[in-house]
Structure 1
């Protein structure tokens, strides 16, 4: 069932994220994310010839990673085609630092060290979790057990399906199954319930 009917309202902003996975002829995979922010009204902006017209992207950026079956990132390309400030496109080059990293447990923490904060771009960083999960979906089905293990390396204990004590883990990756969640996960659940 969809969310409830809203009160009368007027659209102000629209963010569109499109993420696509490609199998390449050389045995690698390209995962591309595109993000566009659109305003329904003109926005004053001295760095964009005085204003950003309604419907023209306020932000428009791209991020592509090329991975192998083990989720090792071979190449990264980032581009900031439109942004509110002239300095923004220079942040794209920083994302090359992700080359040689592997999408697995702790990868997002590592990305924050390499490209987070003042050295990177908030919006390109927001695309990284989307790229990671799209990568898993792109490699699936493949060899199902192999892809399930790859998925577990990134997603174990991140949702109900991927919880170590779930029927999904018990069925597909029994060696990772535990009837009880690890203590640190149980403690975080208790903290959330308070």
Structure 2
């Protein structure tokens, strides 16, 4: 908790954080600007001072995660198939989720209903391209399902807080280590060439 003499966080950052939480809890459609303002302790006019609309608030809140996600998945199949690179990819992916879990939740669970919002369209296009790359570069349905379960499962665990501690740093590190170990284990068979009969 901040001491009485410490300044309040940057209003736009605080509003984005509150909006992301509400967009996950009640959905983008279900969270009004007034609810966001109330939850953050601001007036609605203050929200509109920083963001022209709820859509603009969503755009600004999601953009850093979408940019980071795009960079994270560049050449991902090659990184996942290579034993030495796989560990780094998995750690980077889990770290991304630990920082951007709410954004991932919104993109995955509300992406289709938010089509038409530029940042969401960008994320949806990226996910389609990623899916196409999985289909084209992984030889078997088992490999594609294994990869999907590993990545989507980790995103679900982090976004919903399943097995994630809420306060103590040590348990967060334990949860991170467990996520890295499980995802890496699920991806090990991708390094082996597909067996064809």
Instruction: Give the structure-1-normalised TM-score.
Output: 0.28
Structure with bigger helix share is: 2
Structure with bigger strand share is: 1
Higher relative contact order (CA 8 A, sep 6+): 2
Instruction: Give the structure-2-normalised TM-score.
Output: 0.28
